[in-house]
Structure 1
């Protein structure tokens, strides 16, 4: 399982909706979640390692940034 983890500013229902509209377009994603209780509003994306549509951290960051959201890799 590939797991990508990001720090975001997804801390409201409106921002969550914006993110959902974008993240649902990522093919091969098993599931994604945002922990709005965490101070980093952690976004976690899971996909099988053999996914036919590989995506990168930069793809997710670019996609969410275009939606007006903040997103950076959480290390």
Structure 2
């Protein structure tokens, strides 16, 4: 059975291209982030992060620190 624990999903307010660009710079320079994407077409603006080293709390703190809303999507 495949393990998907390294795929972290979040509900955010990252909805505009300018927001996405700022998040790109932030996550691209964060050690442990292998890959990420934001679905701005989804009503929850879902942020998907692939990381084998980081947890939900670390990503939430990073995103919130930069002024965006972010919570774990359950």
* TM-score, L = length of structure 1: 0.83
Task: Quote the Cα distance in structure 1 between the aligned partners of 2:32 and 2:62.
Answer: 16
**Structure 2 residue matching 1:55: 3-state secondary structure:** coil
**Structure 1 residue matching 2:50: 3-state secondary structure:** strand
Matched, 1:4 2:8: yes
Query: Within 5 Å, which residues of 2 pair with 1:19-30?
Result: 19-30=23-34
Over the aligned positions, Cα root-mean-square deviation in angstroms equals: 1.3
Structure 1 runs of 4+ off > 3 angstroms? none
Task: Quote the Cα distance in structure 2 between the aligned partners of 1:73 and 1:21.
Answer: 21
Name stretches of at least 5 consecutive residues in structure 2 with no aligned partner: none
Query: Within 5 Å, which residues of 2 pair with 1:1-75?
Result: 2-47=6-51, 49=52, 54-75=53-74
Q: Is the 8 A contact 2:11 2:46 kept in 1?
A: yes
Name stretches of at least 5 consecutive residues in structure 1 with no aligned partner: none
